A and B are shown apart, each in its own frame.
Chain A
Amino acid sequence: MKVPPELKYTDSHEWVRWEKDGSATVGITDFAQESLGDLVFVELPQVGRPVKAGEPCAVVESVKAASDVYAPIDGEVLAVNQAAAEKPESINADAFGAWLFRLRPTDAAAKPAAHSRLLDAAQYASSIAEHK
């Protein structure tokens, strides 16, 4: 199971990557895609929508189940990845490449580490190990 060290994670299985421009890119983890099975439908948020950390803002549905994708931080939706919505199977193939949405953090000055909900790769890896 891949857990890239440079990313941050949530306990609800989203990954977050801080971009150079200060925005945050969000997707679901390899663990999440594998648990869900073949994905068949993705619903993305409206660009411009303000979101609160922990708020459901996208849906991924697999052959087996539907699952909410939660905003990992407070922010505003800057962009969505239509390619992932058109080809949900691309998330199964590359969960860390097929991002879902990009947020402009409300607290732009805060360092990633200040977002208390987020886990680093080691913490996330040990949390998913407990699921097995």
Chain B
Amino acid sequence: MLKRTVLYDTHVAAGARMVDFGGWEMPLHYGSQIEEHHAVRRSAGVFDVSHMRVAEIEGSDARALLRRLLTADIDRRAPGQAMYSCMLDERGGVLDDLIVYRRGDDRARFRAILNAATADRDLQWITSLASADGLRVDIRPQAQLAILALQGPESPAVLARAQPALAEHALPLASFRAAFVDGAFVARTGYTGEDGFEIVVPGEQVRALWQHLRNAGATACGLGARDTLRLEAGMALYGQDIDESVTPLESGLARTVELDGDRQFVGRAAIERQRAEGPRRQLLGLKLLGKGVLRSHQDVRSAHGDGQVTSGGFSPTLLVSIALARVPAAVAVGDTVTVELRGGAAQALVVKPRFVRNGKPLI
């Protein structure tokens, strides 16, 4: 039995095509995925991402736990700042990628947002790590909370029209900053490569919030557009581009691994070993040079060995097929590789894994 968010009936009434995503019945699109994609690049769109799991991590040892758990150092973040990082196993494999927010300045309250498909496993991992280290931490999943992502260049204007009181606190936020406003939580974060906000509210308030944002001009967007937007932005999708079989260094996520100091986070030894030896694989971008569509799991052949497409698709902004691919370390931007497409072999150009940002093509 698939789980449903509070907005399930709202999506169905709006004509959404519902699909299974990580055990949740979620909207894929409401008619045209491409139009939803363009709405986010050009104006504003709203996504129901309530399948993602909010967890409060609080207590006198919460800080110590997060410094042990995550590749980036929460101590280096200011109150109200968001931190994107990875949670690794001892071998350096990625268990999840997540954002943790520092709440107050008492260093004892944090909020994490976990991927839907990995949330249960994450919570087990976090709890067992805390108990193995004898840390006093209260870890509380918040299943009653709903999450909307308002994304696109007109997001500030839409939020100001839809929720003036919330917007008063949200609009001054810099990128990757967050604030609590009367029981709501708003962060200037997203998964599209555009300006925007992620808003967390109690489930009983989310229908009204969704409706206000829609009335204020935000297009309802499904997970299909979310996927093409994040692919154009070059953002990894857990379970597809990253999983426990690869390290952040092999996934374009080296920037999330903060090795300065002697903070002993889980997986550090493996990461340091790999860094010393040099990772054998890397995640780069591909731009298809001919016709067709790159898809995940297609084989990539290069002069330096073989690789594989991890996420591929058609870019509605660039009108060409693009992909993220894991390839040998010697492959460089500007190289041409061969990809086994459905219809036969085709050439693709290796590019930086960042295709579109703030509405502008980067390749």
* Distance of A75 from chain B, by nearest CB (Å): 21
B332 at the interface (CB under 8 A from A): no
- Contact segment of A5-13, A18-26, A59-67: A59-67
Identify the closest chain B residue to A37 (Cβ): B33
B342 touches A66 (CB 8 A): yes
A38 at the interface (CB under 8 A from B): yes
Chain B interface size band reads 10 to 19
* Distance of B45 from chain A, by nearest CB (Å): 15
B224 touches A59 (CB 8 A): no
Chain A residues contacting B265 (CB-CB under 8 Å) are: none
A63 touches B292 (CB 8 A): no
Chain A residues contacting B316 (CB-CB under 8 Å) are: 63
A41 touches B292 (CB 8 A): yes
A63 touches B295 (CB 8 A): no
Give chain B interface residues in 301-359, CB to chain A under 8 Å: 313-314, 316, 321, 342-343
| Per-residue interface assignment for chain A, residues 30 to 50, with 1 indicating a CB less than 8 Å from any chain B CB and 0 otherwise | 000010011011010000000
CA A34 – CA B33 in complex, angstroms?
11
B342 touches A64 (CB 8 A): no
Chain A interface size band reads 10 to 19
Q: Which of B17, B321, B342 contacts A59 (CB 8 A)?
A: B342
CA A64 – CA B32 in complex, angstroms?
11
Which of A37, A59, A66 has the most chain B CB atoms closer than 10 A to its own CB? A37
B343 touches A63 (CB 8 A): no
Chain A residues contacting B314 (CB-CB under 8 Å) are: 40-41, 61, 63
A41 touches B291 (CB 8 A): yes
CA A41 – CA B34 in complex, angstroms?
13
CA A127 – CA B124 in complex, angstroms?
45
| Per-residue interface assignment for chain B, residues 142 to 175, with 1 indicating a CB less than 8 Å from any chain A CB and 0 otherwise | 0000000000000000000000000000000000
Identify the closest chain A residue to B315 (Cβ): A40
A43 touches B292 (CB 8 A): yes
* Distance of A112 from chain B, by nearest CB (Å): 30
Which of A59, A61, A92 has the most chain B CB atoms closer than 10 A to its own CB? A61
Give chain B interface residues in 1-57, CB to chain A under 8 Å: 17, 28-29, 32-34
Q: Which of A43, A63, A64, A66 contacts B291 (CB 8 A)?
A: A43
* Distance of B128 from chain A, by nearest CB (Å): 37
B343 touches A37 (CB 8 A): no
* Distance of A95 from chain B, by nearest CB (Å): 14
* Distance of B16 from chain A, by nearest CB (Å): 12
B115 at the interface (CB under 8 A from A): no
Chain B residues contacting A59 (CB-CB under 8 Å) are: 342-343
A63 touches B342 (CB 8 A): no
CA A64 – CA B296 in complex, angstroms?
11
Q: Which of A38, A43, A66, A92 contacts B295 (CB 8 A)?
A: A66
CA A59 – CA B291 in complex, angstroms?
12
| Per-residue interface assignment for chain A, residues 86 to 103, with 1 indicating a CB less than 8 Å from any chain B CB and 0 otherwise | 000100100000000000
* Distance of B10 from chain A, by nearest CB (Å): 20
6 closest pairs, A vs B, by CB? A40-B314, A38-B34, A61-B293, A63-B33, A38-B33, A66-B342
Besides the known contacts A61-B293, A63-B314, A66-B342, 6 further A-B residue pairs in the complex with CB atoms under 8 A apart: A38-B33, A40-B293, A40-B314, A63-B34, A63-B224, A66-B293
